[in-house]
Chains A and B, each alone.
Chain A
Amino acid sequence: MGIELQNINKKFGEYKAIDNLSLSIPSGDLIALLGPSGCGKTTLLRIIAGLELADSGKIILENKDTTNLPPRKKNVGFVFQHYALFRRLNVFENVAFGLKVLPFKERPPRIEIRDRVEHLLKLVQMDWALNRYPSQLSGGQRQRVALARALAVNPRVLLLDEPFSALDAKVRQELRRWLRKLHDEIHVTSIFVTHDQEEALELADKIVVINKGRIEQEGTPQEVYDHPANAFVYNFLGNVNVFHGRIKNGKVSLGDHDLDAPDELKYIEEKPSQTFVRPHEIGISRIRSNENDLVGIIHEVRLQGGQIGLNIECEGLDNPIEAEVPRELFVNLQLAKGVQVFVTINRVRVFAGDYEI
């Protein structure tokens, strides 16, 4: 196992930041800790790095119990949200720092340090900036230097705390793909923390969804996205329409309409329910194709890149539905604001009980 966390607990005063959390990550994987802000994901990362002390629990990194080691001996590479480059040191000295502070006996000779730093800077495509200072670099460049600095000490594991969140959208996407490529080359077990589901889905081998200091679900991006374990995960991963209703006699109410309840909920007693529908799982047409279709009027049209977002007010529903259609369909059907359409709900997820988010 690359990283093994056993029953980690952490309280800040009365507030439970991490609640008896256990997690195993195979060596060489790239894992996303995904959750809303304040869910404890950054705290967990800082506990692994030793920057924060867990109240109880065990941390095993690459088969070595590091729970009680001081942070400088944990040998963990940490990349900070705001880069945290040493502003008084140039790029070379920043990356060399971890090697130069080694005790004399372990410190590699000067030439070796030079070679290693140059190699790492080449790896992050920053070898042209050896003598620059952090203030002379852009955000994306700084974060790449920070990554090289963290890798310089041959860390057991690499931890990245919202590494791209301070960057603008385009750089963020570039750096994301580049990090994935880099990870495929160097294979160090890595965890990155993010609140951006898109980032997690695109980048990670496995996603761990965290809420209120507990794991809600872990799995590959595909698993987590297609088979959310509960309402929280469903809601957190991507845009979604939520309908609050009741399950009764094998039917789920959706406003004034009834849908067949999924099999596992068919025979339960009456309960409040939440029904989730993703915007792209909604079909739009100008002719009624099915007696269950909802009738609605397009209330708002939004351009979203290749897709068109529609806000549709349907008869019998309290809240408007968000739908997404390809641009081509939008043009072919001659859709526009105020047009009447028929709405087919292709796929729903129903969760029984009120889930607090």
Chain B
Amino acid sequence: MSQPDTNNSKAPVVNKRISDPQSVQVLLIGLTYLFFIGFIFLPLGLVFTQAFQKGWSFYLESIREPYAIEAVKLTLLTVAIVVPINAVFGVSAAWAITKFNFKGKTALKSLLDLPFAVSPVIAGLIFVLLVGSRTPFGSWLGEHGIKIIFSTPGIIIATIFVTFPFIARELIPLMEAQGRDEEEAALTLGARGWQIFGKITLPNIRWGLLYGMILCGARSIGEFGAVSVVSGHIRGQTNTIPLHVEILYSEYNFTASFAVASLLVFLALLTVVIKNGMEKHFHKNSLHL
């Protein structure tokens, strides 16, 4: 980003000729700002105005209310389970795809994007059809006292499905660029599989992995569609933060709804900040080969 600036100060004449006319610059920058204002600043501002409409104490009350706290707990529990599971899956999938040659590799690589392409609602429905109480498998589980749909496991499974591409997607290009040379070198030097993974592979991908985990976590917190289908909206039991927001909203309890929603906004902003810090580190450390 800083390169064009230095060029500009050193060779203004050349740069003037090759850069776009002033009017185009103004127009594009203006449009960008307009877009940001309309789609990001304004809505964010509205969330907070609505949240604090009835004052600070009402805000605190809304987010301290037992159902809200249960929703936050469930959301955090979901994230705490989903992210590690997807990290393990993402690393093994990326490892398999980049370091081995096997049949169906290309197909797997493209299918990895499926959760992004398919509507989350359908993702939820798939699991209802698979393990819901009306299916043979679901009723068998029910007889053994295992409940998946309309309970926490269902929410976790649906969230895993929706977020599993994030980490693998982040790691595959990185591992492809790094190649197998270092692992092969370690192999000829006598290292065992786990030593190679722990000492060579993991350190080489750690920033990409963390970055993918952040994205995966952010999406897990905010996932609505798939979770909505499998959760059953039982207050205090199967409500995550986004579902709780929706319930409050549909009960015309706007201020409380926005207050809880502001929690999501805080989490999102936190994610962006961490992500940015990480990106700097990531580019500094991981990409030089």
**Which residues on A are within 8 Å of B, measured CB to CB?**
49-51, 71-78, 80, 82, 84-89, 97-98, 101-102, 135, 146, 149-150, 152-153
Contacts and interface: CB of A to CB of B under 8 A. Distances in A.
A86 B186 contact: yes
Given A51-B184, A80-B181, A87-B289, A72 B191 contact: yes
Contact of B187 (A72, A77, A89): A72
B181 to A, nearest CB: 4
Contact of A80 (B185, B195, B204, B288): B185
Contact of A51 (B188, B195, B200, B288): B188
Contacts of B199: 86, 89, 97, 101
Given A72-B191, A88-B204, A97 B186 contact: yes
B181 A101 contact: no
Contacts of A98: 189-191
A76 B185 contact: no
B113 interface: no
Nearest to A159: B188
5 contacts: A50-B188, A84-B182, A85-B185, A87-B204, A101-B190
B203 interface: yes
Contact of A76 (B182, B188, B191, B200): B188
Contact of B190 (A73, A86, A89): A73
Contacts of A149: 185, 189
B213 to A, nearest CB: 19
Given A51-B184, A80-B181, A80-B184, A88 B189 contact: no
A135 B181 CA distance: 16
Interface in B142-192: 181-182, 184-192
Interface residues on B, range: 10 to 19
Given A101-B199, A135-B288, A87 B189 contact: no
A74 B195 CA distance: 17
B185 A101 contact: no
Contacts of A85: 182, 185
A102 B190 contact: yes
A299 to B, nearest CB: 43
Contacts of B188: 49-51, 71-72, 74, 76-78, 150
Nearest to B189: A98
Contacts of A71: 187-188
A152 B191 CA distance: 13
A86 B200 contact: yes
A254 B190 CA distance: 58
A74 B191 CA distance: 12
A134 B58 CA distance: 58
Nearest to B204: A88
A72 B182 contact: no
Interface in B268-289: 288-289
B182 to A, nearest CB: 5
Interface centre among B186, B189, B199, B203 (most CB of A within 10 A): B189
A66 to B, nearest CB: 12
